[in-house]
Each structure stands twice: as structure tokens, then as C-alpha cells.
Amino acid sequence: MSARILVVDDIEANVRLLEAKLSAEYYQVSVAYDGPTALALAADELPDVILLDVMMPGMDGFTVCRRLKEDPATRHIPVVLVTALDGRADRIQGLEAGASDFLTKPIDDVMLFARVRSLTRFKLVIDELRQREASGRRIGVIAGAASRLDGLGGRVLVVDDNERQAQRVAAELAVEHRPVIESDPAKAQISAGGPVDLVIINAAAKGFDGLRFAAALRSDERTRHLPILAMVDPDERPRIVKALEIGINDILPRPIDPQELAARVKTQIQRKRYTDYLRQNLDYSLELAVTDQLTGLHNRRYMTGQLDSLVKRAGLGGDPVAALLIDLDHFKKINDGFGHDVGDEVLREFALRLASNVRAIDLPCRYGGEEFTVIMPDTQLADALRIAERIRMHVSGSPFRVAHGSELLTVTISVGVSATSGPDDTPEALLKRADEAVYEAKKSGRNAVVGKAA
């Protein structure tokens, strides 16, 4: 998997060494020799991963990392701090600044590429979600920005058969989160499918294989995107590399430092909430793309796609399909006499009455303006006529209360009904017959239901 890597170090020899190693693995590499240049390049190129030296004159790596995370354009880019320092205070300071992890000089090539591959996978997911969210904003189906997405108050599942260690981790987390301990991996997998923000696994558990459990979470659709933090001894290099390869998000070295635990947990929960926010926006934009915003019914685009597949299936010997085409009588008079606000109220109320008088398998849609359709799978023409008559009576039988309840309007509808008639029938022909039936209903005096066979 290729990626764009930004290498930042004030020592040219270090930069050239990293550049050579990464280029040999077919990564696209950009370089910067100071903090301000790194910030400018990051904003301009939006790399997939930033390898950032800590000890630089003027603006050190901690400051650069903090600035990157403060900028909405670059805060999603993973940052790995590269340092000759290996002290606890420096690790915690870097994590609190927003760094994803550390690489200690001299750099272990295997750890370097394992970490880069792991972070690149995460970045690709974020990029895809961000791109789709941006598309939603451009076409106006998503508005506003993300509210503050902090990393506190998370639901954390601790999977560990070392009771003393699990209790200690849970006690530390309980200050800011809601931890739950589970020692049985089978029960833990069930729990992970619920409302969980993070799973912490003891990769060195004696009673089960922690990495196999993590792999099971990654293969389960319900938990595929759930962040996983693995507790691993820092000298178990093969286990750490394998953990990153199977999709574990972060490594927590043992013995566990409370501040480092807090920082890494906060980062993972923050990321999950951000990706959840992007996924929810994507789901919302997809829903809006097929939903009429005024009435809440599906729109014509969605109806067309569903009708095409249903008619095709009917033509191949499947169940028949019926269509109702409904037009609100004299709707222009309502708009002209009471205003478009009242007209909108009438459309919303009609949509409610329509949706409450069709079956669960039926598809009520707004066709456009004051026209509506109902697509009815597994329905003969005679059955569709009965349902259409029930809808007509429910609409005309009681007035519509509009203008904040100050006006009562009698509303009637004209309904055309058609149904598929053979293997050569088409969606266009089906709707055309229903449209001709609506015309006949209006011609006969409106407030009527007319069926038209092929």
C-alpha cells in the first residue's frame, strides 16, 4: 500500500536516510527541515502520515504537532514523533499534543513500516469519509460543522484475564470513562458489538490469544471499525508488529503508565467519535438524496429505481406490481388563496394520511409538486383499486387543519391506478396508464379513483 509521507527533521542526513528507506518501499516522500515549512507543506499537500522529529531549533516537534491538530485542515493527519528521547515525560507530552505514536532513533525499519502501514489504513478511511462529507456539503444536504468531539466519557471494554492488571486499568479509566472488565473472550465479543467506544486487550493474556481475539473483532462487521488498544511488553517486537498488521490501532506498553494510558485512550475515543460523525453525515446525505425534505416520503429518484427492479422481476414471472398516481385537486387554489406556507402544510398532512393508509411493503413517494405515487409490490389491479379508494375516503372524509389550527380545508384527490400486465410491460408504460387514469378521474369531476388496464 503506497502513501504520501512527509518527513520533518532539521538534520539533512536523517531526512535523506528516511527518504531513501521510504522511497525504496514505493512511498511518495516530501521533506521539510523546520516547523514552519512542515506546517505549510502539510496544509498544501495533506500527506497520509507525518514523521516528525522532536528536537528541532525554533519550533520543536511538540509545537508543530499541536499546531497541526489545531488546524481543521490537518488535524486528521496521523503524526509519528521521531526522537532520540525515550523518557516518559516526552511520550506523554507528545501524546497530549496529538501524536499517534513514537519511533525512537535509531529507527527500527520493521517497526517503521508496520506503523506507517497501520496509520495509512486509518487515513484512507478518514479521507474517504471526509470526501463524501464534502460532497454532501457542496450539494447542500449537510450543513454546519462538527460539534466539539472530545475523548472523554467513553465506554471502554477491558478484555484481560489478569484480574489485578484489569482492575488497575479500570480504576485509572474510571476517572474519565466508563470501563467494563471481561475475562472471557466469547462474552467480550458479544459485549463489543454493543455501545462500546474502545476495546483494550491484553495481548499477553494466559487464558486466550489476545491477537486472535483482536483479529476476530476485525473480521466481524459489527466491530470492524471499533478502535483496539493492545497492552504489550515493549520488548515483544514480533507481537507488536503482528498487532499492527492485523489492525490494532495502538500499542500500550507494559508496565502501564496511568498518564500514557489516559492519553492513548483519549486519542482513540476522539478518533472514533470523529469517524462516527463522518459516517453519520454520510448516512444522512444518502438518506436526503432519496427523500423528499418537505414530506419525508421517498422522492421520485428512489421510486424510479425501485419500480424498475420490481417491474423487471414481474416480467420474469414474479409477483405483479401496481402503481397509484395521486393528484391533489385544485391545489393551485390553495396556494393562491392561503399562501405557499399553507400549501406546504397540506402536502405534509396528506403525506401522513397517505403513509398511514398503505401497507408496510408499499412505497409511498412524492412524485413532484402536488403529485404522489404509491408503488405496490405483489398487488393485482383490483386490490390496488380498493386501497386507492380507502386513501381517497380518508383524505376527503375529514378536513385538513392548517394555519396553526385556525383554518379547516376540505381536500380531495384524483387517483389513477394501473398494474403490470405481462412480460413486455415497462415502468414507463405502467406510470403512463396511471397518469391517463388520473386524467380520466379529473375529467369525471375529481375526488375519484379510476383504474386502467393494459
Identify residue 28 by its one-letter amino acid code. Answer: Q
Q: Tell me the three cell numbers of residue 210.
A: 489476545
Taking the CB of residue 228, how many other CB atoms lie within 10 A of it? 26
Cα-based distances in Å from 52 to 37, 90, 276: 12, 14, 28
Write the burial class of residue 341 (CB in 10 Å: 0-12 exposed, 13-18 middle, 19+ buried): exposed
Q: Give the cell for residue 114.
A: 508496520
SS3 251: strand
Q: In this structure, how many other beta carbons lie within 10 angstroms of the beta carbon of residue 313?
A: 15
- Reduced to 3 states, what is the DSSP secondary structure of residue 230? strand
Q: At what angle do helices 35-45 and 61-70 cross, to 10 degrees?
A: 30
Q: Catalytic site residues?
A: 370
DSSP codes, 364-389: EEEEETTEEEEEEES--HHHHHHHHH
Backbone angles phi, psi at 413, to 5 degrees: -135, 155
Helices (H), 31-108: 35-45, 61-70, 88-97
Percentages helix, strand, coil for the chain (3-state, rounded to 5) are 50, 20, 35
